[in-house]
Structure 1
Amino acid sequence: MSILLILGFSGLFLGYKYFINEYDERITDTILEPRAHISTDGPYILYDKDSVQTIYVDDEEGDYAIQKHKTSIDEFDRKVEVKVFTHDQKEKEIFSVSLADTLEATPSEYLASQKIMAISNIEGNFYILRKLLRANGIIDEDCNWAFGKGHLVLMGDFVHRGLNVTQCLWLCYKLEQQAKDAGGAVHFLLGNHEAMNMYGDLVHVRSKYKRLAEKLGMDYSGDILGENSELGRWLRKKNVVEKIGNYLFVHGGLSKRIVNLKISIDSLNKYARHYYGVDYDHIRADPMAGLVFGKWGPLWYRGYMRNPKDTVLQEIQSIQQAFGVDHIVIGHTEVEAIKLIHGRNLVNINVPYPRYNQADQRGYALWIENQTFYATDDLGHRVELKETQ
C-alpha cells in the first residue's frame, strides 16, 4: 500500500511538473507520465475528398491552442513549417518541408553505397536525432540534406515515448525527398512501435498526443496518423526489411521461421504493408500475418541476442544464403554499445540515447564506409569496431 501511495504522489508531482514544462524529456515511461496538457505539435495534414485540413498546436498568450485551417486541395500550399522545441533550445526551431507530389512504396533492395549511416530507436527524441545528423555531416544547420550520395538508414521505433514524435517524422520525411534529389537515399524502416501505432496499440504513446486526439474528437491511430493523413500515408509505404548492397537492415531480425517461408524481401515487405493499420485481432486471425507481426517476425524478433551461439550462427548463415548478404544490422534489443557480433556477420546498434547534455553519455550511430564499420557519436567522433567471436 505504501508503495502505491508513493507512486500516486509521485504521479501528482510529475503531472504538475510536466504541466508547466513542455521541454522536459527525462521521463520516458508513459506509466509515470500523467501529462495534463497538449503542447507544441504538428502539422497534421488530413485529407477529406476535395479538401485538406492542417492542424497545429502552438503557444498562444501563455497557453497552448489548437490551430486548424481547411482549404481545397487545389489551393493547398504543399510547403509546411514544422516547429520543434528541445530542452537545449527554448526558442523553437523551425524547418520547412515540401510535400512529395506522390507517395510510392519504397524499394526493397538498393545498390551498394560507399557511405551508410544507420540509427535506431530514436523514440521521438529530436534532440539527439538532430545532434547525430549534424555532427556527422548528414544535415546542415538548417536541417537540410548534406550527405550527397550517401545512405541514411532509420531502423524503426522513431515514435512513442518522446515529446517530438511528429517533428522527428517530418524531418525524416523531408530528408527522404532531399536525399533522392541529391542521388542519395533515406531508408525509413518500420519497427514494432510504428506497427503498434498503426493498429491502435497506444500503450507507449505520450499523453500529449492522446489528449490532442481527444480534443479534436479524433482517433490518434486511425485519424491523426491514419491512412488519410500525410504522415500516415507515408508510413504505410515503408518496409520492414531492406537490402543495400551486401547489408541487410531490419529492426528486430529474421527468424528461422521467416526464412523458411522462402519468400523474397520484396514479397515480405508487400505482405507486411497489406496489414498496416489492420486491427491486431484480424492480424492474429491470419497465421501468416500473425507470424510476420508476432515475436518471430522482423519487427519483434530478439533471438540473435538471446539464443545460444550455435543457433544464432545457423540463423545468420541461413539469412546470408537466402538473401545474398554478408552482414545483418539490427536494432530493437538494447545493448550497452554498438558491437560486431559473431565476427562481422551481425551488428546491433540499439544503444540508449541521452535526452540531455551529459558529459558522461553520448548518442551513437553506426557508420559504414568502404566496408569498414565504425561507431560514431553525437560529436562526430568515430571509432572503428573490432570483430568479436
Structure 2
Amino acid sequence: MNLLTVVLPLLINGLVFQADPKEEKKKNENDGPYVVYQKDQIVVRNIVSEDSIRRVKVSTFTLKEKSAVPLEVQFSDHPEWNFSVKMQRNLKNEPSEFKQPDKLLALSDIEGEFEAFRKLLLANKVMDEQYNWIFGKGHLVICGDLFDRGQEVSATIWLLYKLEQDAKAKGGYLHTILGNHDIMNLSGDLRYVKPKYFENAKLMGLDYKELYGPDTELGRWLRSKNLIEKIGENLCMHAGVAPVINTLGMGLQEINTKCRPFYDKAKNKELFTDPVIKKFFDGTRSSLFWYRGYFVEPKATEAEVEETLALYQVKTIIVGHTITESNVGFYYKGKVLGIDVDQHNGKHEGALFENKAWYKVNTTGNKLPLPKE
C-alpha cells in the first residue's frame, strides 16, 4: 500500500531547511476520463494537472459522435505511460463458456496497481510499449478486484477496456471477471476506496458513486462482466465455489444472468428476496467473490472440490482473493490454482498456461514450472 509523504520543514542548528520537492516521490495528479451519458449527450470529464494546478476538463459530444470521442488516459508523473482509448460501439454481456486456448495468462487482484500490471503485461508479451495486443490468439484472464488500495484504478480499468477490443481484433480474448472489491464499489460499499478518488469526484462536481454508475461507460462495461467463467479446462472466478453452490446445480450462464442485476445492490441485503440468489452474495460462506474455503478453515474437502470439477466438467479451478505464501501455486493435488499475490508490496506474479503446462511468471519474463501437489 502506498503512503502519502508529508513534507515538513527540518530544524538544524536554528536554521530551517525545506526538503527538496524533487526528492519526493512523484504521483499522478491526473485522473479520468469519466464518461457519463446524459440524455442524448456524452459528457467526458478529465482531471489534468497544468502548471502544478489541477483542473477539470469537460467535453460534450452527441451520441452520434460516440465512435470519435477522444479518450486520453494521462499520467503527470509518467507521460510515457499515456494511452488513448476508443469507445466500444456496443457493450454486450459476456459469454460464460469458452474453448480452451493454447495460451492463457491468469492474473488477479490488481487493485489499481497500474505500474505492476503494465510490467506484467509487457514482460509476458501480452502487449507492447504502445499498448498494442501482441498475445495473438492467447487469452488474458483477470480473476477479479480492479478497485481499491492502489493509486491508479481508473487507468487500470481503461487499459482492460482498450485491450479487450484489441484482443478480439487479433483473435485473442480478454476476460475481466468481477471480484468482491468490484462489487463493493458498484454497490456503494466504499470502505477501501483511496481518499484521492473521493476528492477527485468532488472536484468534478460528482459523488464518487456516480463515477461508475449505470449511466457511465465504465459502469456499463463492468456490469457486462461475469462472476464465473469456464475457459476450456479451467473454471475461473475471484474466490471459489462453496459446497452449497454445488448443491444448486446451476449452469454458469444461469448464475451470471441471475446475479448481474444485483451487482450494484449487494450492499442492500433487503433487496435479495430470492434465497438462491442471496447465496451468491452471502460473504465468505457461499459467495463466488468472497469465499475462502480453499485456503482458510473450515476448508472444502477434496471430495467437494471434485464435485465442482465434475459439475462444470473442468480440470482446474483458478482463483484469486486469498493471499498465501504458496501463491502462485496449486492446491488439492493440482485441482485448485491460487494466483493472488501481494501486488501492493512488490510481489507481481501470475500463472501462464503454455505448451500444455503451467508456469509461474513475473515482471522479468522468466517462467518457472508450477508443480502440482
SS at match of 1:74: helix
SS at match of 1:118: strand
Contact 2:143 2:237 in 1 (8 A): yes
Structure 2 residue 205 is the aligned partner of structure 1 residue 234: no
Q: How does 1:334-345 map to 2 (within 5 A)?
A: 334-336=323-325, 337-345=327-335
SS at match of 1:383: strand
Q: Which amino acid aligns with 1:387?
A: K
Structure 2 residue 142 is the aligned partner of structure 1 residue 188: no
Which residue of structure 1 lines up, in the alignment, with residue 96 of structure 2?
A: 108
Which residue of structure 1 lines up, in the alignment, with residue 117 of structure 2?
A: 129
Q: Distance in 2 between matches of 1:385 and 1:371?
A: 12
Question: Does the C-alpha gap of structure 1 residues 48 and 346 become closer, same or farther in structure 2, counting only changes over 3 Å?
Answer: same
Q: Which amino acid aligns with 2:220?
A: R
Which residue of structure 2 lines up, in the alignment, with residue 163 of structure 1?
A: 151
Structure 2 residue 253 is the aligned partner of structure 1 residue 263: no
Structure 2 residue 290 is the aligned partner of structure 1 residue 300: yes
Q: Distance in 2 between matches of 1:64 and 1:247?
A: 45
Q: Residue deviations 1:261-287, cap 9 Å, x none?
A: 111011111111111212622445543
Structure 1: 4+ residue segments shifted above 3 A: 13-17, 20-24, 89-92, 282-286
How far apart are residue 39 of structure 1 and its match? 3.0
Which residue of structure 2 lines up, in the alignment, with residue 318 of structure 1?
A: 307
How far apart are residue 369 of structure 1 and its match? 1.4
Q: Which amino acid aligns with 1:97?
A: V
SS at match of 1:306: coil
Equivalent in 336, 339, 355 of residue 370 of structure 1: 355
Q: Distance in 2 between matches of 1:126 and 1:335?
A: 22
Structure 2 residue 61 is the aligned partner of structure 1 residue 71: yes
Contact 1:283 1:289 in 2 (8 A): no
Which residue of structure 2 lines up, in the alignment, with residue 4 of structure 1?
A: none
SS at match of 2:132: coil
Question: Does the C-alpha gap of structure 1 residues 148 and 380 become closer, same or farther in structure 2, counting only changes over 3 Å?
Answer: same
Q: Residue deviations 1:91-130, cap 9 Å, x none?
A: 3521111111100000100001110001100110000000
Q: Residue deviations 1:343-373, cap 9 Å, x none?
A: 2101100011256xxxxx5411100113311
Q: Residue deviations 1:179-226, cap 9 Å, x none?
A: 0111110000000000000100111111111112223332222x2111
How far apart are residue 334 of structure 1 and its match? 0.7
Q: Which amino acid aligns with 2:226?
A: N
Structure 2 residue 340 is the aligned partner of structure 1 residue 384: no
Question: Does the C-alpha gap of structure 1 residues 163 and 308 become closer, same or farther in structure 2, counting only changes over 3 Å?
Answer: closer
SS at match of 2:127: coil
Give percent identity, aligned residues only.
34
SS at match of 1:84: coil
**Number of equivalenced pairs:** 352
Equivalent in 66, 71, 86 of residue 80 of structure 1: 71
Q: Distance in 2 between matches of 1:288 and 1:55?
A: 40
SS at match of 1:65: strand
TM-score normalised by L of structure 1: 0.86
How far apart are residue 288 of structure 1 and its match? 2.8
Q: Distance in 1 between matches of 2:103 and 2:88?
A: 25
Q: How does 1:4-83 map to 2 (within 5 A)?
A: 14=5, 23=26, 39-76=29-66, 77-83=68-74
Question: Does the C-alpha gap of structure 1 residues 15 and 278 become closer, same or farther in structure 2, counting only changes over 3 Å?
Answer: farther
Which residue of structure 2 lines up, in the alignment, with residue 327 of structure 1?
A: 316
SS at match of 1:260: helix
Contact 2:149 2:193 in 1 (8 A): yes
Superposed CA RMSD in Å reads 2.0
SS at match of 2:263: coil
How far apart are residue 14 of structure 1 and its match? 4.5
How far apart are residue 69 of structure 1 and its match? 1.3
**Structure 2 unmatched runs, 5+:** 9-20
Equivalent in 138, 142, 148 of residue 136 of structure 2: 148
Contact 2:184 2:266 in 1 (8 A): no
Question: Does the C-alpha gap of structure 1 residues 109 and 75 become closer, same or farther in structure 2, counting only changes over 3 Å?
Answer: closer
Q: Distance in 2 between matches of 1:328 and 1:241?
A: 10
How far apart are residue 67 of structure 1 and its match? 1.0
Q: Distance in 1 between matches of 2:6 and 2:267?
A: 31
Which residue of structure 1 lines up, in the alignment, with residue 166 of structure 2?
A: 178
Contact 2:341 2:347 in 1 (8 A): no
Q: Distance in 2 between matches of 1:183 and 1:343?
A: 33
Q: Residue deviations 1:298-340, cap 9 Å, x none?
A: 000001112366x431221110111001100100001223111
Q: Which amino acid aligns with 1:60?
A: E
How far apart are residue 84 of structure 1 and its match? 3.1
Q: Distance in 1 between matches of 2:6 and 2:191?
A: 18
Contact 1:362 1:378 in 2 (8 A): no
Question: Does the C-alpha gap of structure 1 residues 14 and 286 become closer, same or farther in structure 2, counting only changes over 3 Å?
Answer: farther
Question: Does the C-alpha gap of structure 1 residues 184 and 90 become closer, same or farther in structure 2, counting only changes over 3 Å?
Answer: closer
How far apart are residue 78 of structure 1 and its match? 3.1
